[in-house]
Amino acid sequence: MAVVPKSLVIVESPAKAKTIERYLGSDYVVEASVGHIRDLPAKATEVPAVYKGEPWANLGIDVDNDFKALYVVTERAKKQVTKLKKLLKNSDALYLATDEDREGEAIAW
């Protein structure tokens, strides 16, 4: 029997994921991002190798290039990001259903 692709819905919290999944039914997989998954580097070891030599790298913001931020996946979120990527590979559609506020926008971005 072939695996039928499902739509993946990403929300912010596990409690919301459970509730929404009950309403959407079996054609959807609802998973939580469990909060922020990216942030500025908290320590030098989190800076990607490609940026290590940049004078602004430890700050995480390129002040000479329109204050462009360097976001990295946090240690806390790496396991969840791996899970979300795996779920997405087996999905036919992705819906970002984060809260309608600054935090939700940051997570969806």
Determine the average pLDDT of the residues in 74-82: 90
CA atoms within 13 A on the CB side of 38: 12
Q: Distance between CA 40 and CA 14 in Å, rounded? A: 24
Contact 56, 41 (CB under 8 A): no
Determine the average pLDDT of the residues in 70-94: 92
In this predicted model, which residue has the larger pLDDT, 62 or 74? 62
Please give the backbone phi and psi of residue 55, each rounded to the nearest 5 degrees, phi first: -65, -20
In this predicted model, which residue has the larger pLDDT, 85 or 104? 85
The DSSP element (H or E) to which 72 belongs, if any, is: strand 72-73
Q: Distance between CA 57 and CA 81 in Å, rounded? A: 23
What is the pTM (predicted TM-score) of this model? 0.77
Give the domains, in start order, of the chain with CATH numbers: 1-37+77-109 (3.40.50.140), 38-73 (no CATH)
What does the pLDDT read at residue 18? 94
Determine the average pLDDT of the residues in 42-50: 91
For the segment 10-44, what is each residue's pLDDT rounded down to a tens digit?
A: 999 999 999 999 999 899 999 999 888 888 998 88
In this predicted model, which residue has the larger pLDDT, 4 or 70? 70
> pLDDT confidence of 105, banded at 50, 70, 90?
confident
